[in-house]
Chains A and B, each alone.
Chain A
């Protein structure tokens, strides 16, 4: 079992839909990252969370430390949101532990 599990692996939705991507982890962490990667592109850090909720534009990230679960939400999705979204956790060492990513396609 991977230490960081994401679901779904693939998600296709229509423009305007509310999107939720989930991340569960099995290790103790000091922070959780949500990252975005467009096809052929580099990785962009969206959020770093250690508790509660953060919002940036149409993106919202929440984390429940007790349940070891985080969600990334996209409101009013747009085709430019199409990308791979990656959950990665920082356990206090030097490495991020990566989820497998969720490939999101938003159709116009």
Chain B
């Protein structure tokens, strides 16, 4: 297991297009998180899953955003009808549900909407 993997690393898309990102967490981690980070800012929480259940969504996650974790393993984050304001680094992290929450982060997917 090489940690949390995110794909793609970079994505450039035209405004109005849909994009989908993938996150593969550490295999034994049952919690998975999505964060968004814009330039010069700290990460903002978007949503998290425990196994396949999406237990919380931030109000930042508008109707254009949807996340899934169908089998409790990898997760996808889709953005529909992208806007320039969606340009950001999208970070995925995973952890065990029990204990003090040792997070492992992926390298992120940098989205540029042109």
Contacts and interface: CB of A to CB of B under 8 A. Distances in A.
A42 B91 contact: yes
Interface stretch (B13-21, B69-77, B95-103): B95-103
A40 interface: yes
Contacts, number: 54
Interface of B: 6, 31, 33, 42-43, 45, 48, 50, 55-56, 89, 91, 93, 100-108, 110
A85 B22 CA distance: 26
Given A30-B101, A95-B48, 12 more contacts: A30-B100, A31-B100, A35-B105, A42-B91, A43-B93, A48-B103, A50-B100, A90-B103, A94-B48, A94-B50, A96-B45, A100-B42
Sort chain A's interface into a size bin: 20 to 34
Interface of A: 30-31, 33, 35, 40-45, 48, 50, 86, 90, 92, 94-96, 98-101
